[in-house]
Chain A
């Protein structure tokens, strides 16, 4: 008897097979139609979205990095440009200054020369005047000494000769 009942454990039951097949097919259909579709679809779309978001973020990051490096490059260039301009400005300023200085020096030189010439001329004039004065004085003195010995013209010549013989300075 024991064996008879135990046998029922391993004997497939027709009714159960029948109902089970129907039930499982309905179960499968319901889940297929209303369950797994939305679930797996939603999960997949979410995964895709996450993936695309990550990709977008990576792309944005790469772009940002590129922009940053571009910016850096541009800034460096700008800096270099600024430096160049500054240097040029400095150079031109230096040039200008030098030019100005040269001009000034020239002017000073010129003025000096002019002044010197003036002085020379003045000196010459003064000397001439002095010479004339001295000659006159000498003549007057001599005439007083040697009255009537010499006419005025001859005495003047003598004195002049004497003065010329004097050292120039």
Chain B
């Protein structure tokens, strides 16, 4: 029985290694075979673990191919003119001669020359070092590197999938399936469950009165984009766009901007003048706290999603990387033994990531709804407190809202800290 189980695990190990580790192994070994001919701990950490988690200007399909992505540079030339340099790949960018590769500095030495001569570049191309290094303009400087990166591609892929699903479903609803008759098919039913969930459990309870209608499209879009991006993070060779701080930052800023644009007079009054019934010295203290708190809330929103997704992928790559580290430190037998344990954990973490993918999408959406709800909330004034209560029974008073905010925050922190890191 136990030998069978071990056999099964071995087979799973080999399979998952082939899917997940192949790229890592290929990337790690080839990169350093050219450098010093052997694997080092540093190279494993840089290439296998961090290299796979970080963004880059290439799509890694090792061992089959590495697809370089277009480079777009907004640069200021030596004479001060602003230009846009457009190249099909990093290779093309370097071959052109306008840009040079910054060499990996082994020591804390002085300023090294940037690599521009073709023989050195060929060496870098062979070791794929050009994909991991920085490029600089030989004359003038780069104002903004607007290159297409792999996380952007994965993000676009997620958006494309979501668009494809919902534009097709929208046509269905327009035809009447789901409007006058029951929704038909697995896809429509599954998506409808989630749409209804976001509407009834996320938008309606957190946003006062009928205002949720305005924000539902944003919440739905954010939810499905994050969910799809998170799930793409589980696909071999793909990655989670949401494990990039820039992506989650953009999403959080959108929530923030929506809150600012649609913010009610009461909210701004509360933010800049403090609570109306507090004495002024307290208000002086409270206003900065309120301002900082508002910004921090959204910052935390971005970091929470990013850190969870990044943490998950780092754990997976670390577990895979552990096999190679064992190989370097203790030899092949130990590496083989470690791979069994590593792969078991990897499968567990992958399953956990699947759960986290849904939880984080939900958490981001409900917190966005909550923050937007706080911004657009109009406080009930004394004289018509009663009718406001009557017409909006689901809305909360401000005290209850901040209580709920705390509760949600606590729950989120409890649930979504799978990363022991």
Residues of A within 8 A of B (CB): 1-2, 5-6, 8-21, 23-24, 27-28, 30-32, 34-43, 45-46, 49
**Given A9-B50, A15-B146, A27-B159, are A39 and B169 neighbors across the interface (CB < 8 Å)?**
yes
Name the B residues within 8 Å of A5 (CB-CB): 46, 50-51, 54, 132
Identify which of B151, B192, B199, B221 contacts A16 (C-beta below 8 A).
B151
Q: Cβ of A17 and Cβ of B250 under 8 Å apart?
A: yes
Q: Cβ of A15 and Cβ of B147 under 8 Å apart?
A: yes
Write the chain B residue with the least CB distance to A27: B159
Q: Cβ of A9 and Cβ of B310 under 8 Å apart?
A: yes
Name the A residues within 8 Å of B247 (CB-CB): 16, 20
Number of inter-chain CB pairs below 8 Å: 139
Identify which of A15, A20, A38, A46 contacts B144 (C-beta below 8 A).
A15
- Quick one: which of A12, A38, A39 has the most chain B CB within 10 A? A39
Name the A residues within 8 Å of B217 (CB-CB): 28, 31-32, 35-37, 40
Name the B residues within 8 Å of A45 (CB-CB): 179
Name the A residues within 8 Å of B54 (CB-CB): 5, 8-9
B57 to chain A, nearest CB (A): 9
Name the A residues within 8 Å of B146 (CB-CB): 14-15, 18-19
Q: Cβ of B72 and Cβ of A35 under 8 Å apart?
A: no
Q: Cβ of B245 and Cβ of A11 under 8 Å apart?
A: yes
CA of A2 to CA of B225 in the docked complex: distance in angstroms?
32
Q: Which of B170-178, B284-292, B340-348 contacts A (4 or more CB under 8 A)?
A: B170-178
Interface string of B224-254 (1 = CB under 8 A from A): 0100000000000000000011110111001
B28 at the interface (CB under 8 A from A): no
Q: How many of B's residues come within 8 Å of A, CB to CB?
A: 55
Name the B residues within 8 Å of A18 (CB-CB): 144, 146
A49 to chain B, nearest CB (A): 7
B352 at the interface (CB under 8 A from A): no
Name the A residues within 8 Å of B245 (CB-CB): 9-12
Q: Cβ of A39 and Cβ of B195 under 8 Å apart?
A: yes
Q: Could you tell me which residues of chain B, from 110 to 167, have a CB within 8 Å of some CB in chain A?
A: 132, 144-149, 151-152, 155-156, 159, 162-163, 166-167
Q: Cβ of A13 and Cβ of B55 under 8 Å apart?
A: yes
Write the chain B residue with the least CB distance to A6: B50
B220 at the interface (CB under 8 A from A): yes
- Chain A contact surface mostly: helix
Write the chain A residue with the least CB distance to B199: A40
Q: Cβ of B167 and Cβ of A36 under 8 Å apart?
A: no
Name the A residues within 8 Å of B374 (CB-CB): none
B17 at the interface (CB under 8 A from A): no
CA of A45 to CA of B176 in the docked complex: distance in angstroms?
11
Q: Could you tell me which residues of chain B, from 62 to 109, have a CB within 8 Å of some CB in chain A?
A: 72, 104-106
B216 at the interface (CB under 8 A from A): yes
Q: Cβ of A1 and Cβ of B178 under 8 Å apart?
A: no
CA of A65 to CA of B308 in the docked complex: distance in angstroms?
59
B42 at the interface (CB under 8 A from A): yes
**Given A2-B42, A13-B55, are A39 and B163 neighbors across the interface (CB < 8 Å)?**
no
Name the B residues within 8 Å of A16 (CB-CB): 55, 149, 151-152, 244, 246-247
CA of A6 to CA of B55 in the docked complex: distance in angstroms?
11
Q: Cβ of A19 and Cβ of B196 under 8 Å apart?
A: no
CA of A15 to CA of B57 in the docked complex: distance in angstroms?
11
Name the A residues within 8 Å of B10 (CB-CB): none
B124 to chain A, nearest CB (A): 16
Could you list 8 A-B pairs, sorted by A, with CB under 8 Å? A1-B106, A8-B55, A14-B145, A23-B155, A27-B163, A38-B170, A42-B179, A43-B179
Write the chain B residue with the least CB distance to A36: B217
Name the B residues within 8 Å of A21 (CB-CB): 250
**Given A13-B149, A20-B246, are A40 and B195 neighbors across the interface (CB < 8 Å)?**
yes
B218 at the interface (CB under 8 A from A): yes
CA of A15 to CA of B310 in the docked complex: distance in angstroms?
19
Name the B residues within 8 Å of A40 (CB-CB): 195, 199, 216-217
Name the A residues within 8 Å of B53 (CB-CB): 9
Write the chain A residue with the least CB distance to B105: A1
CA of A24 to CA of B162 in the docked complex: distance in angstroms?
12
B180 at the interface (CB under 8 A from A): yes
B45 at the interface (CB under 8 A from A): yes
B20 to chain A, nearest CB (A): 19
Q: Cβ of B104 and Cβ of A1 under 8 Å apart?
A: yes
**Given A9-B54, A14-B146, are A20 and B155 neighbors across the interface (CB < 8 Å)?**
yes
